Amino acid sequence: MKFSKSFFVAAALCGIANAFNGDVTFYYPRVATGACGWYNNDNELVAALSIDQYGSGGNCGRAIRVDYQGKSVTVAAVDKCAGCQPNDIDLSPAAFDQLASRDAGRIAVNWYYVN
């Protein structure tokens, strides 16, 4: 997915310094404690970051807004996604459901850090 010119203009006006585009899938955070050290359940609005975005854990707890086809959801970064490409993220089922049906499996989104 490509960013439109209007997206970058809007991002600049809103102060969005780190806007990304990538794929989103969903995962089940209830399976284990996340890389940030917190236990989360599938009903929470949380995300797992790619290894590149996770880094040494400095983004743990940061709010992320994910936009897809006129819908958006704000999630907290709580885990690391080892199988994600640099700008991909995994969402909890509750967060993914805010954007698309789980039947879609993988969707291309725009996202950015809110804080």
List the one residue out of 113, 110, 115, 114 whose CA is nearest residue 20: 110
pLDDT of residue 16: 55
Which CATH number fits the domain that encloses residue 97? 2.40.40.10
Give residue 106's Cα distance to chain centre. 12
pLDDT of residue 33: 93
pLDDT of residue 18: 74
**Domain carrying residue 50:** 5-113
pLDDT of residue 115: 83
Overall domain count for the chain: 1
Along the 115 residues of the chain, how does pLDDT read in single tens digits?
Answer: 343 444 434 444 444 557 999 999 999 999 899 999 999 999 999 999 999 999 999 999 999 999 999 999 999 999 999 999 999 999 999 999 999 999 999 999 999 999 8
